[in-house]
Amino acid sequence: MAEIVGAFAASHTPLFLLRHDAPAEEVREEVFSAYRRMAREIVDRGAEAMVLLGNDHLHAFSMDRYPALAIGAGPRFGPVETEPFLPSDVYEGAEELASHLARGLLANGFDPLVCRELPLDHSFVSPLALMGDTGLPIVPVLQNTVAPPLPPAARSYQLGVSLRRLIEGYTGLERVAVVATGAPSHWIGTPEQGEIDEAWDRDVIDMLCRADAKGLSAWPQARIDEGGNGGNEIRTWISAAAMSGDTEANLWVYRIEPLWFLGVTVIEWPIGPAL
Amino acid sequence: MPKLSLNRLIHDIQPLDKREAFLRDPHEFAHGYDVTDAELAAVRDSDMRALWSFGANPYLLRVLQMRSGISDEDFRAALVGLSYPRPDEGEI
């Protein structure tokens, strides 16, 4: 049976690539080294695949048809063509693990769109680019954070609980890592674009560091909206927290960088008993 | 539904080649999309304030901003006095 050997959350933004060298050197060093450290930890712990919890910013899906939940179950993803500034990399898919998760989610009350082909955007590619090549196959799991109506954040917690059980019931691999991408507060394409709400960010991070992802998942949508439309991405963090057993998260980095429109955050959860 | 058609149009011109085709002949490209003349003009002109009022998804506005070469300062200036979420945010 597989075990989760690491659960992490890390911000994503196209601006990591578009404005890679724009921030001060100390900022870049602090942020980029944290992503490299995350990759190193994942590899050193012997992970054989990564489950990536992210979203799609209306590249793979349009407003006409946008799934609440989708899982990439193909043998590969790429070459990336969704956004011109992204590296046109190809990522190996952990196809059998993805199929196992898809079947299991369906059996457990979720209705994921199972994608044999899935264009990935910066949600996945920007953190992967900073992590460097781990050589690990991936399973992208996408939640709707951009096209109303959005699923309630409580659903994200339930998803994480279910994914944990499914991974632990999988016999095809022994060790799997989890990386949730996105968040915290940011506004994209809105009048507030570029703003960062440090107080909101700290509230979110503090709850996760106090092992209260469940409480975070109970935030009403109006509270989540206070973190901008990008704040909806805390759903992926909530799922990762639930996958860890809602343990006390360790904050590796919280660095406000206006040029990146973010308080860039990297978090790790120790793996506790399943919920 | 006009809002969905508008968002579909903006979504579909995200690839650079599609954007170029759209700009060459917006009316020809938009054939089959249920958008008003005002909405079509707003997309053609990257009129962010008009597109916001028409219900364009913010993430699509961001891509349009970047493709159009509009600076972050000019983008925010175009939307001054407005705020997220819009009153109808969340409605289908």
Band of the pLDDT at B2, cuts 50, 70, 90? very low
Which residues does chain A have within 8 Å of residue B4's beta carbon, measured at their own beta carbons?
A: 63-64
Does any domain span residue B84? no
The answer for B 71-90 residues in CB contact with A (under 8 A) is: 72, 75-76, 79-85, 89-90
Q: With an 8 Å Cβ cutoff, is A220 touching chain B?
A: no
Q: In whole angstroms, what is the distance from residue B34 CA to residue A247 CA? A: 49
The answer to whether residue B51 sits within a structural domain is yes
Inter-chain touch B59–A146, beta carbons under 8 Å:
yes
Does B92 contact A at CB distance below 8 Å?
Answer: yes
Residue A118's pLDDT is 96
B87 falls within a domain: no
Task: Give chain A's domains with CATH numbers.
Answer: 3-261 (3.40.830.10)
Q: Is the pTM of this model over 0.90?
A: yes
Residue scoring higher pLDDT (B88 or A111): A111
The CATH code of the domain that includes B11 is 1.10.700.10
pLDDT confidence of residue A81: 81
* Residue range A136-165, pLDDT digits in tens: 999 999 999 999 899 999 999 999 999 999
Would the CB atoms of A149 and B58 count as touching at under 8 Å? Answer: no
Peptide bond into A184 cis (omega under 30): yes
Interval B41-84: pLDDT, tens: 999 999 999 999 999 999 999 999 999 999 999 999 999 999 99
Report yes or no on B25 lying in a domain. Answer: yes
What pLDDT is attached to residue B1?
A: 43
Residues of A marked as catalytic: 122, 186
pLDDT of residue B49: 97
Is A63–B62 a contact, with Cβ atoms under 8 angstroms apart?
A: no
Q: For residue B87, what pLDDT is reported?
A: 79
Residues of chain A predicted below pLDDT 70: none
d(CA B25, nearest CA chain A) in Å? 23
Beta carbons of A192 and B91 less than 8 Å apart: no
A147 touches chain B (CB under 8 A): yes
Interface test with A, best of B10, B84, B86, B91 (most A CBs within 10 A): B84
Q: Is residue B9 part of a domain?
A: yes
Cα–Cα separations (whole angstroms), residue A157 to A54, A99, A112: 14, 21, 15
DSSP string, chain A: --EEEEEEEE---THHHHTTT-S-HHHHHHHHHHHHHHHHHHHHTT-SEEEEEE---SSSSBTTB--SEEEE-SSEE-S--SSTTS----EEB-HHHHHHHHHHHHHTT---EEESS----HHHHHHHHHH------EEEEEE--SSSSPPPHHHHHHHHHHHHHHHHT--S-SEEEEEEE--SS--SSSTTTT---HHHHHHHHHHHHTT-HHHHHT--HHHHHTT-GGGGGHHHHHHHHHHHTS---EEEEEEEEGGGTEEEEEEEE------
Q: Do A229 and B84 touch (CB under 8 A)?
A: yes
Q: What is the span of the domain harbouring residue B15?
A: 2-78
Count of structural domains within chain B: 1
